[in-house]
């Protein structure tokens, strides 16, 4: 059994970065423990006007407090915070982007949800996705799994009965596959996106969409295919966020041989203009993501 720490010791990551990765990964234990007591909505909205689940707030407060106390982090851009949280006295020089609990509408129905994290070297959380040092997510499904890249391939670990992340799969390569799923309601899709979905259906694509980006992506990482949250009528920037969601997941996709696009360009090359920068998202196997761009102009 190779543990997360043993795996990290084989990478060129510096010790404080390895410590930070482990610290974050093992917060999946208290976050998962908090599910039972945080099944309701918090009665508040986040910056995006979305109702916050109690667990959204719990996980956000918990991670900010643990990361602040670590002294390793200068900045945190969290989906649940209107502004960047800063720790100017920290000795460490890392910036975190995070969605503390992605897919939170599924908490009350006990479907898989996750925590998405990106780590940049330096003090600035608003960097291009391609400059991430680390991208990772913890997925709370039947197992708690950690998927991670430190910029040299993608690996997945499972939390075992001793509370240790043990290696499940190394050097994961995303196959070309047939799964597709799209957010937004069909009658609000724009013509280019409609063309693309018709193209997937004509190619015998298999529709799968759970309402949890991290869970849907984890499936695509294994079987191949595409997750889409498009621009829609009235919401031409889509729903998901470049900083907290698209970039860490896109970085993992690219490391596994896949790609991420907004329908016109590689999202990892886009400099965020603000923490809540929204974007249409197409992420998955390389060829199918490439086909989105031509379908936008008519398949």
**Site residues for ligand F6P per CB under 6 A:** 102-103, 105, 183, 211-213, 239-240, 245
State in angstroms the smallest separation of the CB of 19 from ligand F6P.
29
State in angstroms the smallest separation of the CB of 31 from ligand F6P.
16
State in angstroms the smallest separation of the CB of 237 from ligand F6P.
13
Residue number with CB closer to ligand F6P (87 or 213): 213
Residue number with CB closer to ligand F6P (56 or 133): 56
Distance CA 153, CA 166 (A): 17
Residue number with CB closer to ligand F6P (13 or 288): 288
Q: Which two tokens stand for residue 119?
A: 């780590």
Residue number with CB closer to ligand F6P (102 or 276): 102
Residue number with CB closer to ligand F6P (72 or 272): 272
Residue number of the CB atom closest to ligand F6P: 213
State in angstroms the smallest separation of the CB of 175 from ligand F6P.
22
Contacts of residues 10-19 at CB distance under 8 Å and 24 or more positions apart, as own/partner, are 11/150, 11/152, 13/133, 13/134, 13/150, 16/72, 16/92, 16/94, 17/94, 17/119, 17/121, 17/133, 17/134, 17/150, 19/70, 19/72
Contacts of 244 (CB under 8 A, 6+ apart): 77, 78, 79, 97, 98, 99, 116, 118, 275
State in angstroms the smallest separation of the CB of 35 from ligand F6P.
16
Number of C-beta neighbours around residue 143 at 10 A: 13
Task: Find out whether 183 and 228 touch, Cβ atoms under 8 Å.
Answer: yes
């Amino acid at each position: 059994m190779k543990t997360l720490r043993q795996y990290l010791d084989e990478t060129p990551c510096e010790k404080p970065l390895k410590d930070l990765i482990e610290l974050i990964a093992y917060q999946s234990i208290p976050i998962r423990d908090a599910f039972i007591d945080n099944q309701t909505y918090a009665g508040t909205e986040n910056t995006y006007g979305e109702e916050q689940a109690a667990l959204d707030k719990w996980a956000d407060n918990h991670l900010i407090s643990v990361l602040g106390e670590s002294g390793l982090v200068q900045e945190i851009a969290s989906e649940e915070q209107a502004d960047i949280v800063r720790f100017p006295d920290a000795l460490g020089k890392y910036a975190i982007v995070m969605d503390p609990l992605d897919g939170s509408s599924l908490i009350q129905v006990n479907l898989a949800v996750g925590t998405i994290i990106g780590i940049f070297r330096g003090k600035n959380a608003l960097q291009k996705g391609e400059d991430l040092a680390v991208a990772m997510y913890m997925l709370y499904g039947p197992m708690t799994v950690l998927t991670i890249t430190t910029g040299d391939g993608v690996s997945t670990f499972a939390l075992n009965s001793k509370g240790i992340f043990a290696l499940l799969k190394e050097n994961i390569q995303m196959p070309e596959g047939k799964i597709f799923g799209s957010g937004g309601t069909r009658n609000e899709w724009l013509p280019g996106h409609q063309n693309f979905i018709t193209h997937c259906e004509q190619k015998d694509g298999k529709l799968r969409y759970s309402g949890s980006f991290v869970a849907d992506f984890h499936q695509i990482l294994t079987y191949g295919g595409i997750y889409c949250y498009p621009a829609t009528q009235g919401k031409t920037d889509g729903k998901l966020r470049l900083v907290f969601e698209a970039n860490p997941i896109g970085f993992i996709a690219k490391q596994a041989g896949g790609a991420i696009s907004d329908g016109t360009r590689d999202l990892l090359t886009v400099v965020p203009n603000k923490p809540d920068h929204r974007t249409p998202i197409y992420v998955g196997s390389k060829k199918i993501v490439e086909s989105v761009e031509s379908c936008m102009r008519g398949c």
